[in-house]
Amino acid sequence: MTTMTIAKAINEGLRATLAANPKSLLMGEDIGPLGGVYRVTEGLIGEFGPDRVVDTPLAESGIIGTAIGLALRGYSPVCEIQFDGFVFPGFNQITTQLAKMHARSHGNLTVPVVIRIPYGGGIGSVEHHSESPEALFAHTAGLRIITPSNPHDAYWMIQQAVECQDPVIVFEPKRRYWLKGEVDTAAPGPSGDPFKAHILREGTDATIVAYGPLVPVALAAANAAREDGHSVEVIDLRSISPLDFDTVTASVEKTGRLIVAHEAPTFGGIGGEIAARISERAFHSLEAPVIRVGGFHMPYPVAKVEEDYLPDIDRILEALDRALSY
């Protein structure tokens, strides 16, 4: 076991990928000598050179379009989008070309492009630097979407994303880049399937489902609830598309209550899809309505008040209290 931050874990995962796969390469703005704005790619250009760690122009559409062409010629490109709010110039390439190329070719073409996107808030930044656009991409068939919440998953999931023959978007929780944890670099263990949810804490009274940056908050809420005598199960989704409904359904059939928490606005968010599907699959097990906890339906606020916008322990506990009151 090695202790490292999420940022370092992704860096080591990319290093392992570049070393193992000569057809893999990194592309993005300022990812070379600078090492990226979060230093996630720091040192890689010195080891693998500018042909494999490519500093691109500030043109997200060009980055994605070039990556699609490279993938069609047998390469495994990993694109970095500098900030979540900068992905939209490349949205057309991702949703109309990258996501559909395999189906359009009747399965004859594969486009194994990986797109890394730092996402979420909590860093006190300016407009367009703190977004949660995962639901926009999850609605588009043909894309796989994963999000690690800890260093071990970050190390292995970035490598598994590159190995996947489908296009994969990796949403990296930027405010957790400096979160430390143990990483087993020898074997992924239970993280072997990046599209399967993990039960982080067993419980009997209610289930909290979260992903990415809100997983530590969900765990902290479960700890607080335990002090009040409530046993709460916590599930880290890990994958947003596909969603592991089997794991969530089995948990709800045991606990009878479900709270879904994410940073993105509640309206139109991933939580709504989970709530609807679990209501269909486990209706007779539910003792209370599925409750969603998320951001507000508004543009991301200025840094001084973002803590009022982000879902916190109190908002999750309030939802838990409502669920337990039925």
Task: Delineate the domains of the chain, giving CATH numbers in brackets.
Answer: 2-187 (3.40.50.970), 198-324 (3.40.50.920)
How is residue 304 annotated by DSSP?
A: G
How high is the pLDDT of residue 190?
Answer: 80
Residue 313, pLDDT score: 97
Q: At what angle do helices 245-255 and 270-281 cross, to 10 degrees?
A: 60
Report the pLDDT value the prediction gives residue 128, as an integer from 0 to 100. Answer: 87
What type of residue sits at position 153? D
Q: How far apart are CA 60 and CA 79, in angstroms?
A: 9
3-state per-residue secondary structure call for 105-132 = CCCCCCCCCEEEEEECCCCCCCCCCCCC
Tokens, residue 175: 């405010």
Distance CA 209, CA 207 (A): 6
Is 258 in contact with 218 (CB distance < 8 Å)?
A: no
- pTM, two decimal places: 0.96
Alpha-carbon distances of 104 from 24, 141, 250, 256, rounded to whole Å:
24, 12, 36, 42
Give pLDDT, residue 192. Answer: 86
Output the pLDDT for position 127.
Answer: 87
Does 129 participate in catalysis according to the annotation? yes
- Average of per-residue pLDDT values in the chain: 96
Please give the sequence-ordered ranges of beta strands (E in DSSP) within 167-288, or none if there are none: 168-173, 180-183, 198-201, 206-210, 232-236, 239-241, 258-265
Alpha helices in 32-100 (DSSP H): 44-48, 60-72, 91-92
Q: Is the peptide bond before 167 cis (omega within 30 degrees of 0)?
A: no
pLDDT at 126: 87
Selecting among 129, 152, 230, 262, the annotated active-site residue is 129
Give, for 239, the enclosing helix (H) or strand (E).
strand 239-241
Which pLDDT value is given to residue 255? 98
Please say whether the dihedral angle defined by the alpha carbons of residues 149, 198, 275 and 292, taken in this order, is positive or negative. negative
Which tokens sit at 84?
């979540």
- Phi, psi angle pair for 237, to nearest 5°: -60, -40
For the chain, residues with pLDDT lower than 70 are: none
Q: Which two tokens stand for residue 299?
A: 């543009």
pLDDT for the residue 29? 97
Radius of gyration of the chain (CA): 19
Q: Which of 146, 232, 238, 144 is nearest to 190 (CA)?
A: 238
Which pLDDT score is estimated for 191? 79
